């Protein structure tokens, strides 16, 4: 999980950028990476030649407890074809999470992966799609023979050539 840099550190980075320090110097003095300083610099607002550390826009969501994880796993074993969004909605219905405080779908998926759940793409397969036209026609012919739809007296030819009398 990435380390979230506090607002105090963000303000220090903005002050030092305004003072003319390089990102490398700022990273070394504050104990954060140079790339982090560059990322913060992009996030800051630039007004009248100064960088202003804007507060982080994060929504705090409930973490997934062990009991909630067990209940989600039970829901998934009962209904294995649920999507993650449907799973989260079911958890809200069963009052595992509150509607406003439900975790993000990606968080739910990461925690389910830790339990050993895997997503396998559903296989939608039509067996008839693998048949050739010849196999299909033969199948229909045999089926019609079994159901006695074909009258043997009117059948003129068994191959592809037909003779009309």
Length of the chain, in residues: 165
**Furthest-apart CA atoms within the chain: distance in Å:** 103
pTM: 0.43
Residue 19 has φ and ψ, to the nearest 5°, of -80, -10
CA distance 94 to 158: 64
Distance of CA 27 to the CA centre of its chain: 35
Q: What CA–CA distance (Å, rounded) separates 71 from 162?
A: 67
Per-residue pLDDT tens listing for the chain (165 residues): 356 678 888 899 999 999 999 999 999 999 889 999 998 888 888 888 888 888 876 666 667 888 899 898 899 888 888 888 999 999 999 998 888 888 888 888 888 888 888 876 655 555 665 666 777 777 777 887 777 776 766 665 555 554 555
Q: How far is CA 157 from CA 135, 145, 150, in A?
A: 18, 15, 13
Looking at domain 66-115, which CATH architecture does it have? Orthogonal Bundle (1.10)
**Contact criterion met (CB below 8 Å) for 86 and 80:** no
Rounded Cα distance between 65 and 137, Å, is: 58
């Amino acid at each position: 999980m990435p380390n979230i840099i506090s607002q105090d550190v963000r303000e220090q980075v903005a002050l030092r950028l305004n003072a003319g320090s390089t990102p490398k110097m700022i990273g070394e003095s504050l104990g954060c990476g140079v790339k982090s300083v560059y990322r913060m610099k992009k996030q800051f607002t630039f007004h009248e030649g100064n960088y202003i550390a804007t507060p982080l826009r994060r929504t705090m969501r409930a973490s997934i407890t062990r009991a909630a994880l067990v209940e989600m796993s039970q829901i998934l074993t009962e209904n294995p074809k649920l999507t993650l969004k449907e799973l989260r909605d079911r958890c809200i219905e069963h009052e595992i999470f509150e509607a406003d405080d439900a975790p993000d779908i990606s968080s739910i998926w990461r925690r389910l992966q830790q339990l050993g759940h895997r997503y396998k793409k559903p296989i939608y397969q039509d067996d008839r799609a693998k048949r050739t036209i010849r196999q299909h026609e033969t199948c229909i012919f045999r089926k019609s023979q079994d159901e006695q739809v074909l009258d043997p007296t009117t059948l003129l030819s068994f191959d592809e050539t037909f003779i009309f009398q």
